Chain A
């Protein structure tokens, strides 16, 4: 499956990653070579094989619906780039 620059552009948009025009062509080259290597998978017959998501086939454990976390907002916001009154600040999104 050949990779085109439009694929890289779409992935960069979905991943919210700024990619300049110069960088885009480099990524097309690198990612194409990676996907060529990955494409070896297509030669393997996997009909009837179930996908494996967890190496021990574990399933999600459940716990009682109880409050276990304490409020540590101040500690967690100490590493934030911009906060005010306990809120995270971002550029205005609603005019």
Chain B
């Protein structure tokens, strides 16, 4: 059961071969059995899940089932879920029971899906390895000595290990695509504004976007159908119609114009990763696509620009954690300033503090123009690189990450960790969508092919990814861990 895609499980539920209760119990049992090793969940909501499953089975019996009714999934612990701890991977919110649901959660509930719980993540989504979680590191099911990637590392590891059929993540600089690549699953970051951010704990508001992580592009299409759309409660969500993303999955790729950004194949790229990506591109050529080299000349300014813009926004967003209205409060504060400063010092981990300090510094008097205004100008140049490239080609392809998953504990220096996101971060600055699909292995660790499209090209990306998955079987490979813990 745990080997099957959402699409296959939905068909089994529809035919009556399975009930949602059976399916939900099966996955809950797998979590119970295997997650002591992986640490991919922060909170498991077994009782609520079984109640939801029963309701889903009743809805089906009454002829009221939708396409995904009864399908279990998991939520990164950044989505507010009413009545359930929503920690964002932080001690600051270890005691926070969300009083409302994120729009994404409401939409998934309305579709009749079953949440099994909340997955582990880097604290406040700041990290690329999931090692910054207050709740401990997550292990990669392909190799328990490797990181699962981050910040949506728990979601990626849980899907790869078959603990849940699909999960929701968020992506501010690569946090869906990089862990999807490291764990050998498919992860889509939609266009900025495609999915409502309401109820998603804010990190960097002009970059954050939620998206699906699953075993196939087809599954991601089903899930995006549920969560995409305009929301009056998120003023940055876009009022634009949502197509049925499953309808165009089978469009032929003959004549597709693929661009390979030359900056994505330079120094620092692992040889095995490059080989896997180039072989994937050859598969596309055999499907009728044409390939040419393109240039995104400002690529190497993306990480510097991001590490001004994202911490600046974070320092503002995280000012709400003051120990007064919710979240951690220090013991016996001497006065109000002591209450603020000590609650925050105790509640936040080191990486979060670094980013708050960088953001506060770069926004402060005397530094604002040199850093923040400068970075916003560079952001325009980076977006223009992509818009120029999409004048000539339909999609861009390259690696999702310069290396496969690295070892737990390998990257102690923050800057060396930041440089891992070289191929994903510019995408958030430009606001365009991107998807990572499994494309091979390097020493037993998965390699992800990243496919990028212009704003609102999700249907095309899912089509292009799905056609690759019709022609290859990388996405069908499962880690031995998934079977050993069956």
Contact = CB atoms under 8 A, between A and B. Distances in A.
Interface of A: 1, 3, 7-8, 10-12, 14-19, 27, 30-31, 33-35, 37-42, 44, 46, 49-56, 58, 60-61, 63, 72, 75-76, 78-82, 88, 90-93
Contacts, number: 171
Interface of B: 95-100, 191-193, 206, 232, 235-236, 238, 298, 300-301, 303-305, 307-308, 315, 319, 322-327, 329, 333-342, 344-345, 348, 353-354, 356-358, 360-362, 364, 367, 370-371, 373-381, 383, 413-415, 418, 429-432, 455
A35 B345 contact: no
23 contacts: A1-B370, A11-B360, A14-B364, A17-B344, A17-B357, A18-B345, A19-B353, A30-B354, A31-B358, A31-B361, A33-B413, A37-B303, A37-B304, A37-B418, A38-B362, A44-B298, A54-B206, A54-B431, A55-B455, A79-B96, A79-B97, A79-B325, A91-B338
B377 to A, nearest CB: 4
Contacts of A60: 235
Given A10-B364, A79-B97, A90-B336, 16 more contacts: A1-B367, A8-B361, A15-B319, A16-B340, A17-B353, A18-B342, A18-B344, A30-B354, A41-B308, A44-B301, A46-B378, A50-B377, A55-B430, A75-B99, A79-B95, A80-B325
B324 A8 contact: no
Nearest to B348: A17
A91 B357 contact: no
Given A51-B373, A78-B99, A88 B325 contact: yes
Contacts of B380: 49-52
Contacts of B360: 11-12, 14-15
A18 B99 contact: no
For A16, A37, A72, the residue with the greatest tally of chain B CB atoms inside 10 Å of its CB is A16
Contact of B323 (A42, A53, A76, A81): A81
